[in-house]
Structure 1
Amino acid sequence: MKLIQIDKARYRKHLNHVIVACVIALAVGSLAISQTLIALFPDPSGSHFHWNLLGVVVCSLLVGFVLNKYRNHDYMTEIVYVWELKKALNKITRKMPKLKAAGREGNADALLAIHYSYAGSRLLWQLDDNTITMDELAIKQAELDSVAEKYNLSLDAERYDEAILKNF
């Protein structure tokens, strides 16, 4: 997955709209489904927990289906890109101990994956205005750059391919 710059204002606006729409859909949909089920199948004991739970589950599945169906819509472009980037970074994070160990030994693929992780994290943190941890990331990037320099390697996030993670 290539790292691209996205319009932060558009991303935040669209993300906020999607979140609000999902919350409203979950609240209204869950209540509508559970109240319909309670009206159709009343419980003499007065406990309707199972119908309420079913309403939440069904509505959650419907919201997930709708989000998946419209993931290719222009309105969702930035949101889906960030979701996919987070997924890619999570795969790297799960392998980070092995990557760091291999990187200390000069493994170019490991260093490239770590570099991509740092570049992707920087992009996400800038989108979310998470500037507090940027200094820590800069220190880690400097350490990574010194290891790459030690082994005469040039790190370019554009060359990253998820397939290299299979080696770790």
Structure 2
Amino acid sequence: MKLQQIDKARYRKHLNRVLAACIGALVLGSLGIARLLIIAFPSASGSHFHWNLLGVIITCAAIALVLKRVQHHPYLREVLYVWHLKQALNQITRRLRKIKAAAEQGNVEAMHALQFNYSGSRQLWQLDDNTITMDELALEQAKLDTLAERYQVEPSAERYHSSTLKQF
């Protein structure tokens, strides 16, 4: 995955609309389906939990199918990019201790992974207005810069490939 510059205002606007549409569809769909099931199959005991649950499950499946079909629509470009970025950062985070240890030993691929992780995290946190931990990120970036200088390597987020994580 390559880091891309995206418009924060457009991303937030599209994300909020997608979330609102999903929430609205979930509420209306699950209530509507559950109501139809209750009318079609009334329960003598008065408990309709299973019909309500089935309404939620069917609606969630329908929303997932719709999102899957429209995921490549230009309207969802930024939302999908951020989703993929979060997945890529999560893959690195799961192996972060081993990656940092490898970077300490001078592993160039580990340094590229760390650079991608720090650059992607910075972008993600700025998009989500989560700037509280930016100081910690700056400290980690400084440590990476020191390692890069020691081993005469120039870490680049552009050179990172997720396939290199298998070695850690």
How far is the alpha carbon of 1:133 from its aligned partner? Answer: 1.0
Residue 73 of structure 1 pairs with residue 73 of structure 2: yes
Q: Structure 1 stretches of 5 or more lacking a match? A: none
Q: What is the TM-score normalised by the length of structure 2?
A: 0.98
How far is the alpha carbon of 1:135 from its aligned partner? Answer: 1.1
For 1:56 and 1:150, the matched residues in 2 are separated by: 56
How far is the alpha carbon of 1:164 from its aligned partner? Answer: 0.5
For 1:60 and 1:97, the matched residues in 2 are separated by: 36
Q: Which residue of 2 aligns with 1:162?
A: 162
How far is the alpha carbon of 1:31 from its aligned partner? Answer: 0.2
Q: Which residue of 2 aligns with 1:15?
A: 15
Q: Which residue of 2 aligns with 1:145?
A: 145
Identity, % of aligned positions: 58
Q: Which residue of 2 aligns with 1:50?
A: 50
For 2:65 and 2:149, the matched residues in 1 are separated by: 47
Q: Partner amino acid for 1:35? A: R
Q: Partner amino acid for 1:68? A: K
Deviations 1:72-127 (A, max 9, x none): 10100100011111111111111111111111111111111111001000010111
Q: Which residue of 2 aligns with 1:86?
A: 86
Q: Which residue of 2 aligns with 1:133?
A: 133
> Per the alignment, in what secondary structure is the counterpart of residue 38 of structure 1?
helix
Q: Structure 2 stretches of 5 or more lacking a match? A: none
Q: Partner amino acid for 1:114? A: L
Q: Which residue of 2 aligns with 1:60?
A: 60
For 1:65 and 1:92, the matched residues in 2 are separated by: 28
How far is the alpha carbon of 1:39 from its aligned partner? Answer: 0.7
For 1:116 and 1:164, the matched residues in 2 are separated by: 12
For 1:96 and 1:54, the matched residues in 2 are separated by: 40
Aligned residues: 168
Q: Which residue of 2 aligns with 1:112?
A: 112
Q: Partner amino acid for 1:19? A: L
For 2:114 and 2:13, the matched residues in 1 are separated by: 30
